[in-house]
Chain A
């Protein structure tokens, strides 16, 4: 991507239709951070003679925050809307902290590495009116994705759905408008999202909401 950017002539963008991002097809590649997901707490309980419980130890589990990779392909469907397909990959840690052991075993944090894939699509809407040659393009967007999580060693696969809502900006670092030049623009995409996961790794069956942020480089053709 860096090579592509340096190969571009960094020239002032010539007149564009107002409100339109240059180019019709966009490729993005970058990193995505997803926040931690609380999975819940369960005690290891014994039943007492009165029918109450005696805690053998406590446990609290989380799917930790992780940074992964994300790629997207977007197609302009109107002057202000792109439709995109995306895929991301991350390796978050699933941890369980055990504590309060009845027999005084030391507290410990146990973990495994999860491989997490998201494959989906959505829409980005460029908001506001922009003058010709604008270099900052705010957008809001949303989408849905298929969630596939593989436990340690790919021994167990869990699937679900993820729904994303958020917004961000695209910063045009370079653009070209001369006829017959294939590449029209390149820049950086920054966005923040809320991700609603249903199913997947969940200990209570409830949906979870985690924050996410992404930074990527894009080129448009």
Chain B
């Protein structure tokens, strides 16, 4: 079996400074075809490293916090993903040992990286073999129920990284502002999978949102997911030409929930799955609230030169159906 550690390295940043490659769902190329990166066998067994505990977070605290985060993903009723704590290990995350390991590592040189997830992929089949999550112990961490001032909430960051471990890429469902000293500050986010963390001391990122739930359910649908939800698909164009990388948000005016995706190819095509049946508002915006390489390979030409706009009509989603052929025309700034 040929093995390699995929070049995928998903980084959760205080501010984006490192390149990353991620889609809404991760993919890898196998024999010239694109394969969605996901676990074939569940439950996904994970280990907790017993090394490198940090001040204020014992190994037991760590195990309990990541256990709560795993449990939240597993509790999504429309998803079939399951996880199992397999025990403690003396290994460290990032070691190619066939074990999916979560733990601390001290990486002071990554001064804007809170945590990251990497994958071991069988490149002959695209199967996921191992995924490790490291938490950067050069930051201060907390597992306190209400959070602690000046410390990052381990459960919140674990929730995000476990989304990656499961195969989810970043979501752009958030708003940021530039900091004076560089980087961005999150004003608000409605997806745990938003690539930039809230600041220290907050536990606001401990709860999965509609966008996360749709994503994990789309990746690991249970028997009812496809029948009980619907999708919107179509194209984003500007001046009659398709555009790549536009961020499309479907808003349910009955519940206030939002699920989003991108136009993901040169034809400007998009598909938003996991939507509740009923009318939806479609909003299209440029990808300008995080570094583009938090979402796409830096070599890809993402168009951000257009105004935020709403589709000129409501789009009705039927249970089990796709409302296709939606064309969203945007105009230059």
A-side residues, CB < 8 A to B, are: 39, 42-51, 53-54, 56-57, 59, 61, 94-96, 98, 101-106, 108, 110-112, 151-153, 155-156, 203
Using CB atoms, name the residue of chain B closest to A43: B256
Interface centre among B174, B202, B207, B313 (most CB of A within 10 A): B313
| Interfacial residues, chain B to chain A (CB-CB below 8 A) | 173-175, 186-190, 198-199, 202-204, 207, 209, 249, 251, 253-256, 258, 277-279, 281, 283, 285, 307-314, 316-319, 321, 323
Q: Secondary structure at chain B's binding surface: helix, strand, loop or mixed?
A: loop
Known A-B contacts A42-B254, A43-B256; A152 and B316 likewise in contact (beta carbons under 8 Å): yes
The interface residues of chain B lying within 8 Å CB-to-CB of A49 are 186, 198-199, 202, 204
CB distance from A100 to the nearest CB of B (A): 12
Contact (Cβ within 8 A) B256 A45: yes
With A44-B258, A51-B204, A203-B253 in contact, is A105–B310 under 8 Å at CB? Answer: yes
* Of the residues A45, A50, A96, A155, contact of B281 by C-beta under 8 Å: A96
Kindly state the separation between the CA atoms of A108 and B309 in the bound complex, as whole angstroms: 9
B316 & A44 in contact (Cβ 8 Å cutoff):
no
Q: Given A46-B188, A48-B187, A155–B202 Cβ distance below 8 Å?
A: no
* A47 and B204 contact, Cβ closer than 8 Å, known pairs A42-B255, A59-B281, A155-B316: yes
Most chain A C-beta atoms within 10 Å of own C-beta, residue among B175, B188, B207, B312: B188
C-alpha gap A102/B190 in the complex (Å): 14
B188 near A48 (CB under 8 angstroms)? yes
Q: Give A152 to B278 CA distance when docked, in angstroms.
A: 10
User: Which chain B residue lies CB-closest to A42?
Assistant: B256
Are the CB atoms of A61 and B312 closer together than 8 Å? no
Q: Which residues of B contact A105 (CB under 8 A)?
A: 283, 307-310
The 3 closest A-B pairs by CB, nearest first: A46-B188, A54-B188, A49-B198
Residues on B with C-beta less than 8 A from A94 are 279, 314
> Can you offer 24 A-B residue contacts whose CB atoms are under 8 A?
A42-B253, A44-B249, A44-B251, A46-B174, A46-B188, A46-B189, A47-B209, A48-B186, A48-B188, A49-B186, A56-B188, A56-B190, A59-B256, A94-B314, A98-B281, A98-B283, A104-B308, A105-B308, A110-B312, A110-B313, A112-B313, A155-B321, A156-B316, A156-B317
Cross-chain contact A51 with B253 (CB below 8 angstroms)? no
On chain B, the residues within 8 Å of A57 by CB distance are 251, 283
CB proximity of A6 to chain B, nearest CB, Å: 45
CB contact under 8 A between A108 and B190, given known A43-B256, A47-B204: no
Contact A152 B308 (CB under 8 A): no
**What B residues does A112 contact at CB under 8 A?**
279, 313-314, 316
A45 to chain B, nearest CB (A): 7
Residues of B within 8 A of A101 (CB): 308
Residue of B nearest to A55 (CB): B188
In the complex, what residue of chain A is closest to B282 when comparing beta carbons? A110
Among residues of A, the one whose C-beta sits closest to the C-beta of B255 is A42
Q: How far apart are the CA atoms of A201 and B253 in the complex, in Å?
A: 12
Q: Please, which residues of chain B bring their CB within 8 A of the CB of A96?
A: 253, 279, 281, 314
Question: Shortest Cβ distance from B175 into chain A, in angstroms?
Answer: 6
Contact A46 B187 (CB under 8 A): yes
By a CB distance below 8 angstroms, the chain A residues around B258 are 44, 56
Question: How far does the Cβ of A44 sit from chain B's closest Cβ, in whole Å?
Answer: 5
Are the CB atoms of A46 and B190 closer together than 8 Å?
Answer: yes
Across-interface contacts of A43 in B (CB, < 8 A) = 256
Q: Which residues of B contact A152 (CB under 8 A)?
A: 279, 314, 316
Contact of B311 among A46, A48, A59, A110 (CB under 8 A): A110
Cα distance A174–B312 in the bound complex, in angstroms = 51
Nearest chain A residue, comparing its CB with the CB of B252: A42
In the bound complex, how far is the Cα of B277 from the Cα of A203, in angstroms? 12
**Within the assembled complex, what's the spacing in Å between the Cα atoms of A212 and B34?**
57
- Point out the residues of chain B lying under 8 angstroms from A108, CB to CB: 310, 312
Known: A96-B253, A151-B279. A110 touches B316 (CB 8 A): no
B277 touches A44 (CB 8 A): no
In the complex the two chains form, what is the Cα distance from A104 to B283 in whole Å? Answer: 12
Contact B313 A155 (CB under 8 A): no
- B187 / chain A contacts, CB cutoff of 8 Å: 46, 48, 54
Minimal beta-carbon separation of A38 from chain B (angstroms): 12
